[in-house]
Amino acid sequence: MRASVAVVLALLFSVVTPIAASAATQVSEPVYDFAGAIRETVWVNTGLDGDADGQPDRVAADIVRPKEPAAQGIKIPVIMDASPYYACCGRGNESELKTYDSAGRPVGFPLFYDNYFVPRGYAIVLVDLAGTNRSQGCADVGGPSDVTSAKAVVDWLNGRAQGYTAKTGGSATTAGWSTGKVGMIGKSYDATIANGVAATGVDGLKTIVPIAGISSWYNYYRSDGATFGFNPVGLAQTVERGNSGQNCSAANQKLTQGATSNGDYGPFWSARDYLSTPGSVRASVLLSHGLGDLNVQTIHFGQWWDRLAANGVERKIWLSQTGHVDPFDYRRAQWVDTLHKWFDHYLLGIDNGIERGPMASIERAPDQWVDQSSWPAANTAGVTYRPHAGTSAGLGSLTTAPSSGAAAFTDSPRLSETDWAAQPSSVSANRLLYSTGKLDRDLQISGTSTITVTATPNTSTAQLSAVLVDYGPATIRNYTGSGEGIKTGTGETCWGANAPGDNGCYRVTTTDSVNVGSEIFSRGWADLGNYRSLSKEEPLTPGKPYTMTFRLASTDHVVPKGHQLALIIGGTDAGFLGQPRATTKFSVDLAKTSLNLPVVGAAPTFGLDVSVDLPLGLGHLRLNPEIRLG
């Protein structure tokens, strides 16, 4: 009896996951017919009624899966991308939308996942989030409805939720073809939903691959009490436009009321904060983020990663120099190979060693990658730096020695961080700048920095900004350009099989680089009125000093030998922050102001002359004040 069972198991494994001869290169092989794959839609009951029509919402899950395993009674795992963009905005660098035949059967599946993985024994499930495309309900921008949209499908794949053959009525249907093992993947909003579903701890979700994902929606719209000038309702209305049959006015009103005009953190944001339940995450995580991402900023991956690490989650990370870009469009072959091994390991159980390789892969210069055993890098420790007044007002040095004195500046809301940094040797009434001078060796900053500022405002409200600048010549990806670090060509490469209306060929992308004299590589913002608590803004007393600590964007950046690191302190950062309620004059207590940097190894020795020989000009474009997810 035992021998016959072993034979059956061996046969099943050989059919589902054919492998190469060497154990070190085991991979699933493309043995199934993609053109003849089963294509269907299942509407899954979420148990919610977001559109308030008195009926539970059903969300559409479009499925493509090989027919051969089902015919043989073999169950297969699922790769899922849950998105609100399949009708309104598209996915990938070429903005692909879902397409259907005249009977409503799904035909065109965006991205290469189906073309590549279905022949290898996976099902691809693309879920329309509630209120979008063909799903019922309403979008709630990362809230319970969004997350439940995707979680319900994971539950259905594991036999715990109801699925139907139609949007209304229809027959009940089950996922008897599924092993119940699910891997979620996606970029931006889609990645965010993967984070949110993982934070529920749902059984069956084995891994997630979040690309440029949000970990807390508060940090997408707010920053330590400061506001970015736009709110979730606009995004909800954008993604709901592709579903004209839903009335989401009431749900949209709740978004408007919940996202208060100030930067206070409250119940609305708590419901969209996936950091609050990190202990629930059981899925492994392959995370990717652009260090130049000014849309979903890097604090999102930094704080998510820290929570995952604290709870022992198995994980890896890719950090590129790009902006809001998918690795498929800047490191295509390596990314597909990594995804292949990752899903094979966590969904098919193949021991290919992917989990034992280096934890972090980081782009140091365009197309120049290094591996690290960890992120933050090994041997990283917090080092405190303090600003010191120089001979010119508002200019000085940045060292580890104690400081004294004060400096003053006036908030000018028309100026941005690029304006502040453009002339580092010049006195400005609108910012303070402190530099290390030329470094005698490389300085690697790996992790999330914090700044503590003690400032006295002359108004009852005030907002602060802090930026880190690497002064010195370099060639970097042009992450503030139109392609955010890539250029899209006319030729194509193909990744997987083709079927009528659904091919796996995509336009070739190349690196877009730029020569700069300086680079802003981290920044952070705060409302001084939230100095005591992010949950309650307080009116400030003019003439009274206040101390506030806030974070700067997570990074892994090397300031090379001979370059200078500078800290800039300013008020309203135009292009990021909304307009201030008053124009504030600040006096900053330098003795009680400090910058804590996560430095790798010993800190370099600083130069003595910080007032001359600083290169001018950033070579960066002015930032778009209306940044949205995409």
The tokens describing 124, both together, are 């691809």
The tokens describing 441, both together, are 């060796």
Q: Is 554 a catalytic residue?
A: no
Catalytically annotated residue among 28, 149, 188, 397: 188
Contacts 24+ apart (CB under 8 A), 357-361: 357/316, 358/316, 359/315, 359/316, 359/317, 360/316, 360/317, 360/318, 360/319, 360/556, 361/316, 361/317, 361/318, 361/319
Listed residue (466, 439, 431, 420) closest to 567, CA to CA:
466
**How many Å apart are CA 355 and CA 563, to the nearest integer?**
36
* DSSP for residue 26: -
Q: 253 CB contacts (<8 Å, ≥6 apart)?
A: none
Distance from the first to the final alpha carbon of the chain: 55
Strand locations in 239-367, DSSP E? Answer: 284-290, 315-320, 360-365
Distances (CA, A) of 117 to 78, 233, 500: 10, 36, 17
Residue identified by tokens 């800039």 is: 568
Helix H or strand E segment including 550 = strand 546-551
8 Å CB contact between 236 and 140 = yes
Helix, strand, coil abundance in the chain, percent, nearest 5: 20, 35, 45
**How many Å apart are CA 550 and CA 455, to the nearest integer?**
13
Q: What are phi and psi of 71, to 5 degrees?
A: -65, -25
Catalytically annotated residue among 289, 300, 324, 388: 324
Q: Is 188 a catalytic residue?
A: yes
* DSSP for residue 218: H
**How many Å apart are CA 439 and CA 170, to the nearest integer?**
69
Number of helices followed by number of strands (H, E) in the chain? 12, 31
8 Å CB contact between 79 and 123 = yes
8 Å CB contact between 580 and 411 = yes
**How many Å apart are CA 171 and CA 356, to the nearest integer?**
45
What does 85-112 look like in DSSP terms, one character per residue? -TTTT-BTTTTB--EE-TTS-EEE-SSS
8 Å CB contact between 81 and 184 = yes
Q: Which is it for the CA torsion 400, 430, 552, 294, positive or negative?
A: negative
8 Å CB contact between 106 and 61 = no
Catalytically annotated residue among 264, 293, 326, 470: 293
Listed residue (154, 124, 121, 130) closest to 58, CA to CA:
130
Q: Is 293 a catalytic residue?
A: yes
Q: 402 CB contacts (<8 Å, ≥6 apart)?
A: 386, 591
List, by residue number, the catalytic residues. 188, 293, 324
